[in-house]
Amino acid sequence: MVYANPQYLFLLLLLIPLIGWYIYKLRKMQATFKLSSGFAFDKAPSTIRVYMRHLPFALRAIAIALIIIALARPQSVNSSDISKTEGIDIILALDVSSTMLAQDFSPNRLDAAKKVAAEFINDRPNDKIGLVIFGGESFTQCPLTTDHRVLLNLLNEVRFGMIEDRTAIGLGLATSVNRLKDSQSKSRVVILLTDGSNNAGQIAPLTAAELAASYGIRVYTVGVGSRGNSIAQLGNQRMMVSGEFDERTLTEIASITGGSYFRATDNTSLLEIYDDINEMEKYHISVNTVTKRKELFPPFALIALVLVGLELITRRTWLRNIP
């Protein structure tokens, strides 16, 4: 319960001097009679009127309090929130070439990327997310979906050797754009993660970036790899992997589409990059609050009127005082 005019409640303090005045009147303004002896009244029984003599004043004080409360206009408030959530459509484009097995990340670049991507998916329950993988070619591992359990299972199945071993960045981006171009979402995003330079595919990375920009799709590019060389384990073979790759192209892709480029050199920095993207790409929530108020003062005013009537009746009839 709330009050429309709570300032009127301070008037309740007026009851304090009113009660004080009544007590003072009882003590100082008693009627006196001169009698030769009060013996005849010693054993006179006290009637109920004696105990009820303060009733008119009590009724008046309660009535005044109720009138003050009615002036403050008590109200009941019933609020309801109507929210509308608009998610973001996101494609995760993941490089699965042999260099992604480099062990400068723990346990390697590919597994580290899969782990961070899974955490990113779990943090965005309102979004439709899909998964594209690319090497020498690309394909959709999982289309856009809100069933993140299925998406996580398909992400877990990603491994080196699923497709030809090269790096077709342009083709991977083009496949991602193809999955998003018909989306009705106002916000469409590709997060492209790679550790190499484009060396396969018939679509140039910048051409794919211009295609993404024409559809209003933002691309966040993530380059993974430490600054030095590292070892990659391919079955029984080991190969040296350079930490250098085409950062310039990845930066241009992000710039053309209105996204950003990030460089991850270890597990921690990779996690921080996905956290940054998570913060930048917040889904939209619009909330309409509907508040209904109901006036509660009429019962207080009615009871106060009844009490005033009872006070007047009892004071002039049953509890009438004779001066």
CATH number of the domain residue 204 falls in: 3.40.50.410
| Contacts with 44 (C-beta within 8 Å, 6 or more apart), sequence order | none
Hey, what are 18's tokens?
């009113």
Whether residue 27 is predicted with pLDDT greater than 80 in this model: the reply is no
| Domain total of the chain | 2
Residue 102 pairs in a beta bridge with: 232
Report pLDDT digits (tens) over 174-223: 999 999 999 888 889 999 999 988 999 899 999 999 999 999 999 999 99
Looking at the structure, tell me whether residues 136 and 54 fall in a common domain: no
The amino acid present at 226, given as its one-letter code, is S
Q: What is the dihedral of CA 38, 43, 47, 52, to 10 degrees?
A: 60
Looking at the structure, tell me whether residues 232 and 302 fall in a common domain: no
Distance, in Å, from the CA atom of 30 to the CA atom of 39, rounded to the nearest integer, reads: 20
- 258 phi/psi in degrees, rounded to 5: 85, 15
Residue 241 pairs in a beta bridge with: 230
Whether residue 95 is predicted with pLDDT greater than 90 in this model: the reply is yes
Looking at the structure, tell me whether residues 140 and 200 fall in a common domain: yes
Looking at the structure, tell me whether residues 161 and 191 fall in a common domain: yes
Task: Please check whether residue 323 lies inside any domain of the structure.
Answer: no
Question: What is the DSSP pairing of strand 237-241 with strand 2-3?
Answer: unpaired
Looking at the structure, tell me whether residues 142 and 237 fall in a common domain: yes
The reported pLDDT for the residue numbered 282 is 74
Distance, in Å, from the CA atom of 182 to the CA atom of 144, rounded to the nearest integer, reads: 11
Whether residue 59 is predicted with pLDDT greater than 90 in this model: the reply is no
**Do 89 and 144 contact (CB within 8 A), yes or no?**
yes
The reported pLDDT for the residue numbered 178 is 96
Whether residue 37 is predicted with pLDDT greater than 60 in this model: the reply is no
Reported as a pLDDT band with limits 50, 70 and 90, residue 118 is: very high
| Greater pLDDT, 30 or 101 | 101
Whether residue 4 is predicted with pLDDT greater than 90 in this model: the reply is no
In this prediction, residues 85-94 reach a mean pLDDT of 87
Task: Please check whether residue 135 lies inside any domain of the structure.
Answer: yes
Whether residue 146 is predicted with pLDDT greater than 80 in this model: the reply is yes
| Greater pLDDT, 32 or 94 | 94
Whether residue 74 is predicted with pLDDT greater than 60 in this model: the reply is yes
How many Cα atoms sit within 13 Å of 124 on the Cβ side?
Answer: 31
Distance, in Å, from the CA atom of 81 to the CA atom of 285, rounded to the nearest integer, reads: 12
Looking at the structure, tell me whether residues 155 and 277 fall in a common domain: yes
Task: Please check whether residue 36 lies inside any domain of the structure.
Answer: no
| Greater pLDDT, 29 or 131 | 131
Looking at the structure, tell me whether residues 182 and 54 fall in a common domain: no
**Do 153 and 141 contact (CB within 8 A), yes or no?**
no
Looking at the structure, tell me whether residues 61 and 157 fall in a common domain: no
| Contacts with 266 (C-beta within 8 Å, 6 or more apart), sequence order | 104, 105, 226
Distance, in Å, from the CA atom of 69 to the CA atom of 72, rounded to the nearest integer, reads: 5
Residue percentage of the chain with pLDDT more than 70: 85
Reported as a pLDDT band with limits 50, 70 and 90, residue 90 is: very high
Looking at the structure, tell me whether residues 302 and 277 fall in a common domain: no
Looking at the structure, tell me whether residues 166 and 277 fall in a common domain: yes
SS (H, E, C) the chain: CEECCHHHHHHHHHHHHHHHHHHHHHHHCCCCCCCCCCHHHCCCCCCHHHHCCCHHHHHHHHHHHHHHHHHCCEEEEEEEEEEEEECCEEEEEEECCHHHHECCCCCCHHHHHHHHHHHHHHCCCCCEEEEEEECCCEEEEEEEECCHHHHHHHHHCCCCCCCCCCCCHHHHHHHHHHHHCCCCCCCEEEEEEECCCCCCCCCCHHHHHHHHHHCCEEEEEEEECCCCCEEEEECCEEEEECCCCCHHHHHHHHHHHCCCEEEECCHHHHHHHHHHHHHHCCCEEEEEEEEEEEECHHHHHHHHHHHHHHHHHHHHCCCCCCC
Looking at the structure, tell me whether residues 263 and 297 fall in a common domain: no
List Cβ<8 Å contacts ≥24 apart for 28-31. 31/323
Task: Please check whether residue 34 lies inside any domain of the structure.
Answer: no
What global pTM score does this model have?
0.64
Whether residue 21 is predicted with pLDDT greater than 70 in this model: the reply is yes
Sign of the C-alpha dihedral computed for residues 260, 266, 272 and 275 taken in this order: positive
Task: Please check whether residue 304 lies inside any domain of the structure.
Answer: yes
Looking at the structure, tell me whether residues 100 and 184 fall in a common domain: yes
What range defines the domain where residue 150 resides? 88-282
Reported as a pLDDT band with limits 50, 70 and 90, residue 34 is: low
Task: Please check whether residue 195 lies inside any domain of the structure.
Answer: yes
Nearest CA to 186 out of 285, 278, 87 is that of 87
| Greater pLDDT, 56 or 83 | 56
